[in-house]
Structure 1
Amino acid sequence: MMAWQGFSRLVKDRSGNFGMMTAILLPVLIGAGGLALDVTNMLISKAELQDAADSAALAASTALAAGEAANEAAAEELARQFFLGQASNTMGEEAATALAGALDIDIKTTTTGNGKKFEVQVGSTYDLALSPLMGVLGYGTMNIATSGTSTSGVTAKQPALTMALVLDESGSMHESVGMPGVNKHAALRTAATALFNALDEADPDKKLVRTAVYTYDQRLVWRSAPAWGTSDARETLHKIVDDSYGTTNANEPLQKATDAIKPNAARTDTESKEHAKKDNETVRRYIVFMTDGQMTGTDGKWSKKVDGDVRKKCDSAKKAGLHIYTVALKAPTNGKTLLNYCATSSKDYFEAETMDNLIKAFETIAKDAAKETTRLTN
């Protein structure tokens, strides 16, 4: 047989093609299988790390807004711990600890006119070990990068309020408070002025605060209807006569104060209408009830009936939605017991034995009534 005939037969012989093709394609097939497996693992791992980063960012920003994290450093540590807890469930504690220690955490705090905004970004990068199958193609690891961002904030809003002061100017208010030349009348004027100053500071534009004053001995003596700011109330305060005349009965002024500022369901009451003109939708309403004595009859002796009637007035005011602060200025036991009963809560009852105590009580009341409301945002 000629040489050329043998070569021709060799060319036409296909009996070894499968083995040759298998040898050529096997690495490709193995690599493709490894790629599919590792891509699946990568997607799962990336989703798990993304969840951990998102959760850590949300936890840190929320803690800052809620005041649970004292500062940015505390929030950063919280984010690391939160990420560690989440990631440990999926990748093991050792790997999660290493990754948490290398997190890129960026916290930005922005102060606005009515609050603060906190933006927290948590970034992580992780080299995922690939399967041996991918080694055929020369790849040992694949980098996974994730970033989670959360924005939270706290907005502060100054509340709108109407406050009626029901103040004792009976004969016992002419007594000294233990300071040379200063009696209870003078101490009351000083303390009420401090309250008005605090309210003016909270509402310099006179768009949020309305005040009224009702003074009494055995009857209503002076009154100023609720008005914007504190000017009218201050004028009424200084009408108090510094004398030793009068017994003590707060029924009439309490009733007048309640009728003047209580709301109704239709929001057609005077205070609702006045605040609506300033776009004040939510209005807090307060009575500050002060006495240095006990409720008496015309004979100047404690009267169980008068005391009981005053309690009923306080009950009606609270039922109408009014918040009552009470202040006892060197009052006897019956007076203190009454005021403790009338206060909306125990923390709204104040005892003052000195002028300084009285001033502090009135300032505390003003600051508590005018304190900002906060809202957490995410």
Structure 2
Amino acid sequence: MMSTSHFYNSCLRRLLDDRRGNFGMMTAIMIPVLLGAAGLAIDYSNMALSKRELQEATDSAALAAATALANDKTDEAGAKSLAKNFVAGQMAQVLANNSIQGSIKDTTNVSVTTTANGTKSKIFKVNVNTSFNLPLSPLMRVFGKTTQTISAASTGENGQTDTQGALSMYLVLDRSGSMSFITDQKKTKPSKCDNYTQKSWPNPDNDLKSYCYTRKIEALQTAAAGLFTELNKADPEHELVRVGAVSYTDEEQAAKAINWGTADAASYVSALPYKPTGGTDASDALDTAYKALKSSTNGTDTETKEHESKNHDSFQRYIILMTDGEMTGDSSSWSQPIDKDVRDLCTAVKGDGITIFTIAFMAPQKGKDLLQACASSTTNYYAPDNMAKLVEDFGDIAAKATSSITRLTN
């Protein structure tokens, strides 16, 4: 009789030796694994895409809010609302595609930190963090996982600063006898005054008695006033702009030292004589402006130290050289040596990195040639032939000089 143990051993050997049904058993075992792997591949791709889009949304929201604060477009509460709405708007399509209920604004947190940057400026730091639960595919539910939390955090920083666009400017203005001559601009009403012209100088022109015409010196004062107005608009607190002025005949006249704001230079220009006299020599006056603006290798020059006192990391230097004539000295004829002196000075000024704007106002050809050579570029040279154009050209110079004044840094 077969023993019980022998019977069981025999059955076990037959079972182990039987290969029928192995594939079915292996398939039954692997199906959950294969389904999980497929679900993982699908959901991993979806999670990576959602994470990237959410990160881009928070990055953009933080920067937009910080920029709005720096530009004085909103306050702290407005910046927080802006960031939340920005994230929600950017993620609207993603959330809709995944049938996510509720607003992502509810899970978006925004904080704003404001710190002082120097005496007048501020730095705004905006932190944005948010998250949402991304539904997973049904295949992942085999493992009991129905959602995955997607989160992102970003910091945007922007600031107001007065270190960009600061400038120092020196006006070098002709006040020789020809600046007493009239322009084509009539006064508003018929009136009598002394109208000087080149043919009548130094006496009034008796052929012009019905109207009083605007003199060149008056036109210059009007145009310069427009320049000062634009500089004041760009720097209302007088923390960015320094201006000085000097005038000349055949000799340099007393200068107004460069100072913060435009008030001193404006007073100087408005006080120029109603009837200028004398010849034309810009060399000494131009040299005065050059010395006032000239840089030093170790940063000890006056302008650098003045701007450093206002926490300006850098500043632009400008000279406006204006004449209505040619270089004659104390004579009535063009002087080649004086003309050359001015040209050489202009070369030195430009070599020091100072930008020169030149204005040849109703000037003869030799005066135009000189100022065209002195200008830092062809677009910095102006040759107005009437008062209206002179005012326009001074306005254009103001626009160019102040275009770099900005209070926004990234």
**TM-score calculated relative to the size of structure 2:** 0.65
What does 1:1-378 align with in structure 2 at a 5 Å threshold? 13-14=11-12, 15-16=14-15, 26-40=27-41, 42-44=43-45, 46-47=47-48, 50-51=51-52, 157-158=161-162, 159-180=165-186, 181-371=213-403, 372-373=405-406, 377=410
Specify the SS of the correspondent of 2:333.
Answer: coil
Answer yes or no: is the 8 Å Cα contact 2:384–2:393 preserved in 1: yes
Evaluate the alpha carbon distance shift between residue 129 and residue 252 of structure 1 in structure 2; reply closer, same or farther with a 3 A threshold.
same
Q: Distance in 2 between matches of 1:105 and 1:348?
A: 54
Q: Distance in 2 between matches of 1:336 and 1:327?
A: 8
Deviations 1:96-152 (A, max 9, x none): xx98x979999x9x9x9989999999x99999989xxx699699xx99997888777
Q: 1:315 offset after TM fit, Å?
A: 0.8
What does residue 71 of structure 2 align with? Answer: none
Deviations 1:10-64 (A, max 9, x none): 9994455887897566334222033224424543564366557767987999999
Evaluate the alpha carbon distance shift between residue 57 and residue 338 of structure 1 in structure 2; reply closer, same or farther with a 3 A threshold.
farther
Q: Distance in 2 between matches of 1:309 and 1:105?
A: 71
Residue type of the alignment partner of 2:367: G
Evaluate the alpha carbon distance shift between residue 304 and residue 147 of structure 1 in structure 2; reply closer, same or farther with a 3 A threshold.
farther
Q: 1:304 offset after TM fit, Å?
A: 2.2
Identity of aligned residues (%): 31
Q: 1:292 offset after TM fit, Å?
A: 1.1
Question: What is the number of equivalent residue pairs in this alignment?
Answer: 338
More moved, 207-216 vs 194-203: 194-203
Q: 1:196 offset after TM fit, Å?
A: 1.4
Q: 1:284 offset after TM fit, Å?
A: 1.4
More moved, 206-215 vs 151-160: 151-160
Answer yes or no: is the 8 Å Cα contact 2:326–2:366 preserved in 1: yes
Structure 1 or 2: more strand by fraction: 1
What does residue 88 of structure 1 align with? Answer: none
More moved, 41-50 vs 28-37: 41-50
In angstroms, what is the RMSD of aligned CA positions? 4.7
Evaluate the alpha carbon distance shift between residue 102 and residue 356 of structure 1 in structure 2; reply closer, same or farther with a 3 A threshold.
farther
Please list every run of 5 or more consecutive structure 1 residues that lacks an aligned counterpart in the other structure. 66-75, 81-97
Answer yes or no: is the 8 Å Cα contact 2:184–2:386 preserved in 1: yes
In the TM superposition, structure 1's runs of 4+ consecutive aligned residues that sit over 3 Å from their partners are 9-26, 44-65, 101-106, 112-121, 123-130, 134-139, 142-158, 373-377
Specify the SS of the correspondent of 2:396.
Answer: helix
Evaluate the alpha carbon distance shift between residue 227 and residue 48 of structure 1 in structure 2; reply closer, same or farther with a 3 A threshold.
same
